[in-house]
Structure 1
Amino acid sequence: MNLKKPAAIVVMGVSGSGKTSIGERLAERLGCAFVEGDRLHPAANVAKMAEGIPLTDDDRWPWLDLVGRELAGARGRGESVVVSCSALRKSYRDRLRQASGGILYFVFLTGDPKVLEERMGARTGHFMPASLLRSQLATLESPEGEADVVTVDIDASLDHIVGEAFDGLAKMWRA
């Protein structure tokens, strides 16, 4: 799909939902850049999560500001971008919306906690332990019903999930 104007998209959800894998493939399909939001976390946040300690809002605000700058920077350059970011609370999404400088689209990856646990248990080399999944699920405020949000169930193949996200965004862009 050739976008008529630059789009800023956040692929969101709890840990283990596939934000990076879906985000990378969605960006490839859209022909735009992908930014891994976890790489923007300050070292103190990564260390805290690696120890199994949930982040507080005070930990998250500076990180969300960095994510917002990535979104705004791409928009300022006239480029589309897909960013992965958990964006668990409405206040976090609103902060990203404000920082992005325009319409911000969200792809919400949702799924059964058992599927999420299995995925987290199977991955290697990630700082986020499976023990923090419960904390993230408790923090999550579903974005369903918010403007410019596509919800996709993750209990499917990667290609199917990306296709659902793409089709949902395309419908919004045609509206």
Structure 2
Amino acid sequence: MGVSGTGKTTVARLLAQRLSVPFAEADEFHSPGNIAKMSAGVPLDDSDRRPWLQAIGRWLHEHAMTGSGGVVTCSALKRHYRDTLREAAPSVFFLHLTAGEEVLAQRIGHRTGHFMPGSLLASQLATLEPLAPDESGAVLDAGPPPDTVATRAVALLPRPTESAHE
């Protein structure tokens, strides 16, 4: 989770590879209307986000039920957005990637082929509600190279508990 430019997709792909689990990019769950809105520089509102979050939650739930688990990117900027994901997948663990505003702006300015314009960064930063102490997750500095961030992410993930018969 985190604002645009933190490297969510890059780190999530690396993390999914290291864990040998499925990967999903949250942007693929957006409706064409949401994409058009963001492409025009208009921030999404909660009514735009709810069906998107519910679709991501279904993906998380399905992968939890099959036992495969998975890694999915999602900005999840507000607590109640994360609550929507937790409603569908109670065991979800959030890795909140963070970076300074200058780093984020630079990254967004250099990426190509993405519908999220840099002009929306300020609104994302203003909307962001960091993980609360009672939320399952961890905060991770996304400033280092992605490989380093992914290595640190693996170390932060909760370990499955051992079976009762072992």
Aligned match of 2:100: 112
SS of corresponding position for 2:159: helix
Aligned match of 2:16: 27
Q: Give the stretch that moved more between structures: 154-163 or 43-52.
A: 154-163
- Counterpart Cα distance in 2 of 1:174 and 1:44: 39
- Counterpart Cα distance in 2 of 1:85 and 1:98: 15
- Counterpart Cα distance in 2 of 1:173 and 1:142: 23
Aligned match of 1:89: 78
- Structure 2 length as normaliser, TM-score? 0.94
Aligned match of 1:121: 109
Contact (CA 8 Å) 1:15, 1:136: kept in 2 or not? yes
Structure 1 stretches of 5 or more lacking a match?
1-11
Amino acid at match of 2:99: G
Q: Does 1:137 align with 2:137?
A: no
Once the 2 structures are TM-superposed, how far is the Cα of residue 75 of structure 1 from its aligned partner? 1.3
Identical-residue share of aligned pairs (%): 45
Q: RMSD in angstroms over aligned alpha carbons?
A: 1.2
- Structure 1 length as normaliser, TM-score? 0.89
- Counterpart Cα distance in 2 of 1:17 and 1:147: 20
Once the 2 structures are TM-superposed, how far is the Cα of residue 150 of structure 1 from its aligned partner? 1.5
- Counterpart Cα distance in 2 of 1:109 and 1:144: 14
- Counterpart Cα distance in 2 of 1:144 and 1:29: 27
Aligned match of 1:146: 134
Once the 2 structures are TM-superposed, how far is the Cα of residue 145 of structure 1 from its aligned partner? 2.0
Contact (CA 8 Å) 1:52, 1:128: kept in 2 or not? yes
Aligned match of 2:5: 16
Note the alpha carbon deviations across 1:120-144, whole angstroms, 9 max, x for none. Answer: 0010000000000000000000015
Amino acid at match of 2:68: E
SS of corresponding position for 1:161: helix
Contact (CA 8 Å) 1:87, 1:93: kept in 2 or not? yes
Amino acid at match of 1:159: D
Moved segments of 4+, more than 3 Å: none
SS of corresponding position for 1:49: helix
- Counterpart Cα distance in 2 of 1:80 and 1:149: 16
SS of corresponding position for 2:23: strand
Aligned match of 1:173: 159
Amino acid at match of 1:163: T
Q: Give the stretch that moved more between structures: 29-38 or 140-149.
A: 140-149
- Counterpart Cα distance in 1 of 2:86 and 2:60: 9
Aligned match of 1:9: none
Amino acid at match of 1:86: S
Q: Does 1:99 align with 2:119?
A: no
SS of corresponding position for 2:33: helix
